[in-house]
């Protein structure tokens, strides 16, 4: 398939979707007004804290829940009337839900015999598909085993193979790695990403783990309290968070208060703590005199000797050894505290002593203006 065409085809379109559980006037509002486009062949992640509505959205795409208002299109078609088993969609759950009395091969075949998505397959075709899927997840050797004879990671791979076996157009994954230990989870991230790329199936992945989202996704939608906060590539979300929630939820960040002193040619200049100038930012939506927060990641702040030109004066309050990095806690003139992270250099003369004065420097491109 032509790559440009594939990027532009929409797999799932969520249009003005609102979801209220129970009484539509007084029930709990799970989703307020969601608009999202998920492209064909994309690894798309719904990321947000517990209760933000991720699972509700996934269950509506699968057909287990219905929007109170709005519509969901699958490849351009409104699927409101289609029951779950008639949608070209399958789900991998956090708990593998394999049949304990069947072998791994039988678990996969069972789902294909019941004609998912309206397709009828012959016995030979089913056998072939089972082999193909077990090979995809590197589990051919285990075809004859029962689920309880497999490790958690192996069971999760089987659950993935079973969900992929009917060749869905869209695979929904509801926190599928959360039951695994850290090392296995990290290994499975790479495997999942590779399987998605190999099959070309659109993956919609739900997680509250920002690292998981950043490492696997083509694009991420960050949700909070039933609303989309930002949609973008991992680097967009991390480097240019749109608001305080996204900046704080994804990775670690520092907030520096600044008052706008000048706006010109798409740039805004700020006075930081104690009136020190901060690097200008691309932002034309601000008025002179407004106070906003800038978000700067710890690794984008650089410590320089006290008195260096253009640096924000600070004091070193603490130094923490993190192995690969050194982390400093510094205080500014207004008492606010920031975190600075630098690669751990063998050159000890590069280190700053606790209690000493220093300067802080950051580039214009390293800060994001947070508009709310
Ligand atoms: P988690 O990460 O904890 O699974 P989530 O982001 O997936 O959370 P949802 O399960 O979609 O969140 O829930 C969104 C909101 O809707 C929550 O406030 C939840 O309490 C509420 N909710 C979910 N299911 C129901 C239900 N069946 N009846 C009433 N309220 C519900």
Q: What is the pLDDT of residues 172-209, one digit of tens each?
A: 999 988 878 888 888 889 889 999 999 999 999 999 99
> Residue 123: left if φ>0, alpha if ψ -120 to 50, beta else—which one?
alpha
Q: 254 pLDDT exceeds 80?
A: yes
Average pLDDT over residues 57-62: 96
C-alpha of residue 313 to centroid of ligand 1, in Å: 46
How much is the pLDDT for 199?
A: 94
Ligand 1 pocket, mutate which of 24, 53, 173, 175 (most atoms under 8 A from CB): 53
How much is the pLDDT for 85?
A: 85
Q: Considering only CA atoms, which residue is closest to atom 28 of ligand 1?
A: 21
Ligand 1 pocket, mutate which of 51, 59, 68, 91 (most atoms under 8 A from CB): 51
How much is the pLDDT for 120?
A: 80
> Residue 260: left if φ>0, alpha if ψ -120 to 50, beta else—which one?
beta
How much is the pLDDT for 3?
A: 46
How much is the pLDDT for 2?
A: 45
C-alpha of residue 21 to centroid of ligand 1, in Å: 9
Reference 180, options 145, 153, 140, 211; nearest CA is: 153
Atom of ligand 1 nearest to the CA of 206: 7
Q: Considering only CA atoms, which residue is closest to atom 15 of ligand 1?
A: 30
Q: Considering only CA atoms, which residue is closest to atom 20 of ligand 1?
A: 51
Lowest mean pLDDT, pick from 8-22, 222-236, 317-331, 345-359: 345-359
User: In which residue are the tokens 């290994």 written?
Assistant: 187
Structure tokens at 219: 């694009």
C-alpha of residue 57 to centroid of ligand 1, in Å: 10
How much is the pLDDT for 6?
A: 45
Name all domains of the chain by residue range, CATH numbers in brackets.
10-245 (3.40.50.300), 252-370 (2.40.50.140)
Lowest mean pLDDT, pick from 6-10, 172-176, 265-269, 284-288: 6-10
Residue percentage of the chain with pLDDT more than 70: 95
C-alpha of residue 47 to centroid of ligand 1, in Å: 14
Q: 4 pLDDT exceeds 50?
A: no
How much is the pLDDT for 8?
A: 64
C-alpha of residue 8 to centroid of ligand 1, in Å: 31
What distances in angstroms separate CA 93 from CA 133, 163, 172, 224, one per listed residue? 18, 10, 8, 22
Q: 7 pLDDT exceeds 70?
A: no
Ligand 1 pocket, mutate which of 14, 21, 45 (most atoms under 8 A from CB): 21
Rounded to two decimals, the pTM is 0.89
C-alpha of residue 68 to centroid of ligand 1, in Å: 15
Tell me which DSSP letter residue 358 carries.
E
Average pLDDT over residues 15-39: 95
Reference 228, options 371, 39, 17; nearest CA is: 17
Task: Give the residue with greater pLDDT, 8 vs 369.
Answer: 369
Average pLDDT over residues 215-223: 97
How much is the pLDDT for 180?
A: 81
C-alpha of residue 227 to centroid of ligand 1, in Å: 13
Q: 340 pLDDT exceeds 70?
A: yes
What distances in angstroms separate CA 174 from CA 62, 94, 95, 250, one per listed residue? 11, 6, 9, 19
Ligand 1 pocket, mutate which of 14, 27, 29, 30 (most atoms under 8 A from CB): 30
Which protein residues touch ligand 1 with a CB less than 6 Å away?
21, 28, 30, 48, 50-56, 208
Confidence class for position 153, pLDDT limits 50, 70, 90: confident
C-alpha of residue 18 to centroid of ligand 1, in Å: 13
């Amino acid at each position: 398939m032509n790559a440009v065409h594939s990027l532009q085809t929409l797999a799932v379109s969520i249009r003005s979707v609102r979801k209220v559980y129970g009484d539509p006037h007084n029930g709990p509002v799970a989703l307020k007004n969601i608009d999202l486009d998920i492209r064909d062949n994309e690894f798309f992640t719904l990321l947000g804290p517990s209760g933000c509505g991720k699972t509700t959205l996934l269950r509506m795409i699968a057909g287990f829940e219905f929007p109170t208002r709005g519509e969901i299109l699958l490849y351009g078609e409104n699927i409101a009337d289609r029951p779950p088993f008639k949608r070209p969609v399958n789900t991998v759950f956090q708990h593998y839900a394999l049949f304990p009395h069947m072998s791994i091969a039988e678990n996969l075949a069972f789902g294909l015999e019941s004609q998912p998505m309206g397709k009828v397959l012959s016995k030979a075709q089913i056998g072939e598909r089972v082999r193909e899927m077990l090979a995809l997840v590197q589990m051919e050797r285990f075809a004859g085993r029962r689920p309880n004879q497999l490790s958690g990671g192996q069971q999760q791979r089987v659950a993935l193979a079973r969900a992929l076996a009917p060749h869905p157009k869209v695979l929904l994954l509801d926190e599928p790695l959360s039951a695994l230990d850290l090392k296995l989870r990290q290994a499975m991230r790479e495997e999942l990403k590779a399987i998605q790329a190999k099959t070309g199936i659109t993956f919609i992945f739900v997680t509250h783990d920002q690292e998981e989202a950043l490492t696997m996704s083509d694009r991420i939608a960050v949700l909070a309290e039933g609303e989309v906060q930002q949609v973008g590539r991992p680097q967009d979300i991390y480097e240019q968070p749109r608001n305080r929630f996204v900046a704080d939820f994804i990775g670690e960040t520092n907030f520096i208060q600044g008052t706008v002193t000048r706006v010109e040619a798409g740039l805004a200049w700020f006075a930081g703590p104690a009136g020190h100038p901060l690097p200008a930012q691309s932002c034309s939506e601000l008025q002179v005199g407004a106070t906003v927060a800038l978000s700067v990641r710890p690794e984008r702040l650089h410590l320089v000797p006290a008195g260096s030109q253009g640096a924000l004066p600070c004091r070193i309050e603490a130094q923490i050894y993190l192995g690969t990095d050194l982390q400093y806690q510094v205080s500014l003139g207004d008492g606010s505290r920031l975190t600075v992270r630098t690669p751990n250099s063998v050159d000890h003369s590069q280190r700053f002593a606790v209690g000493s004065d220093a300067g802080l420097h950051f580039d214009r491109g390293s800060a994001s203006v947070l508009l709310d």
